[in-house]
Structure 1
């Protein structure tokens, strides 16, 4: 028997805001790298990957899972949860490295978008496997899973293109909102593809080896917000330094 599902719309809204903040920070950093005379550095690529992969995508994903409510206790296995975080950050970092290293041709963009999108989708479903409930089994609608994969690939491709080609704070903010809509669309499509079915043969004690949603949620939200603020401050300092350098280089 399938369980009745509802959503906490406050957490759904919070997940969208986190996605906007993370997307804006990642776009700001990546655009700064692209316009820098020194080119991309491992530090800035890591900062952009943490902002986009860890903030806009993974933190949004986890808060979105917390918004998922069923009439029984839910726990999260730490191993798959943090493995999904690592996958999101590394995959987005590779995609950003491809995007900012030289001219972004159509072939490179599509290749990077395909790789990053599939990895992000893999992050989502790995994170979903971390969600456990006693006496229940997780099943998926294959059609909706396929739709979520397409959304992830398109969103990743568009995100990489925007990160390289945009200029201007207002344009970046608007693009961050578009990216957040795409990221949330992929996540909630993937959530809609999943159903929890009562299964008396399933492990009834698995919840004992998991962490409570509130414990993990508070830790992840606070850590992610701290990292995003640090990354945004770094990017703004970088932008300020570039403006000062450009002014000094102007002829008197």
Structure 2
């Protein structure tokens, strides 16, 4: 056995960050759509969970894994890989629903942040466990613990930002902050991993090839995020238009009342 020193493809590292920011922005937009909706809040929150958990976190994770060159053949167990997707979406959805019940409650925010953060960390390390390769994997305890702390803080901050920032510029800023936090957790978790190679003739279980998995995840996620973004923007635009119409009607009604009073006054005179 000998210790492996993997390297990174920095183009894919940058791409993973961009995907995380895009998924975060889409998720925040869908949360705003949920807040503006009266009858379909649950559906919008579920869509936001898919955008944040599936796009900003899970897709970022696997693009980040593609960026990690281990210098040996690697494939992924499909069941564990897609189970990690389910973990990401479910815990983010649970956090959004819990905080959405009362966005001003600090207790709710902290509880949801812990649940979501631990879920995100579970997604990351289960995704790592899905790798089949001729190497033994161990973790540096200090960096492992740091990655968990980052996940908890990032999840709490993400939930607060999703519900409390208004305006497109602030939402974009929040998405960048989320992207930094998600990537920070991922790459600290990767730094925590130590790999010692085994006999390269050792049998490796069958699984999905990294490039195949990466292309599928990237293309499917981008398509889904773009569709979610379009639908979310349409919902917010419709609500904005309805609010403007209601304001115009209220203003017209106010003017009518004023003219009515003037007519009555004129008749009395």
TM bin (shorter chain): over 0.9
* Cα distance in 1, alignment partners of residues 27 and 16 from structure 2: 16
Change (3 A) 1:39 1:104: farther
Give unpaired runs (5+ residues) of structure 1: none
| 1:139 corresponding residue in structure 2 | 138
Query: Offset of 1:40 from its aligned partner?
Result: 5.7
Tell me by how many angstroms 1:23 deviates: 0.4
In the alignment, which residue of structure 2 is the partner of 1:8? 9
Consecutive unaligned residues in structure 2, runs of 5 or more: 253-269
Aligned to 2:3, the other structure's residue is in SS state: coil
Q: Is residue 239 of structure 2 the alignment partner of residue 242 of structure 1?
A: yes
Cα contact 2:16–2:60 (8 A) shared by 1: yes
For the 8 Å contact 1:20–1:56, the answer to whether it is kept is: yes
Residues 133-159 of structure 1: CA deviation (Å, up to 9, x unaligned): 12x111111111100000000000000
**Structure 2 match to 1:205:** 203
Query: Is the counterpart of residue 24 in structure 1 residue 25 in structure 2?
Result: yes
Counterpart mapping for 1:214-233 below 5 A: 214-233=211-230
**Residue 71 in structure 1 maps to residue 75 in structure 2:** no
CA deviation after TM superposition for structure 1 residue 59, in Å: 0.3
Go from structure 1 to structure 2 and tell me whether the alpha carbon gap of 1:103 and 1:67 turns closer, same or farther (over 3 Å shift): closer
Contact between 1:30 and 1:100, CA under 8 Å: does it hold in 2? Answer: no
RMSD, matched Cα: 1.4
What SS class does the counterpart of residue 194 from structure 2 fall into? strand
The Cα of 1:206 is off from its aligned counterpart by: 2.1
1:42 CA displacement: 2.3
Counting only pairs closer than 5 Å after superposition, residues 1-252 of structure 1 correspond to structure 2 as: 1-34=2-35, 36=36, 38=38, 41-134=41-134, 136-200=135-199, 204-207=202-205, 209-250=206-247, 251=250, 252=252
> Which one has the largest radius of gyration?
2
1:74–1:213: 8 Å Cα contact kept in structure 2?
yes
Q: Distance in 1 between matches of 2:12 and 2:37?
A: 41
Residue 32 of structure 1 and its aligned partner are, at CA, apart by 2.5
- Compute the TM-score of the two structures, normalised by the length of structure 1: 0.95
Aligned pairs, number: 248
Q: Quick one: distance in 2 between partners of 1:43 and 1:214?
A: 33
Give SS of 1:21's match.
helix
2:255: which partner in 1?
Answer: none
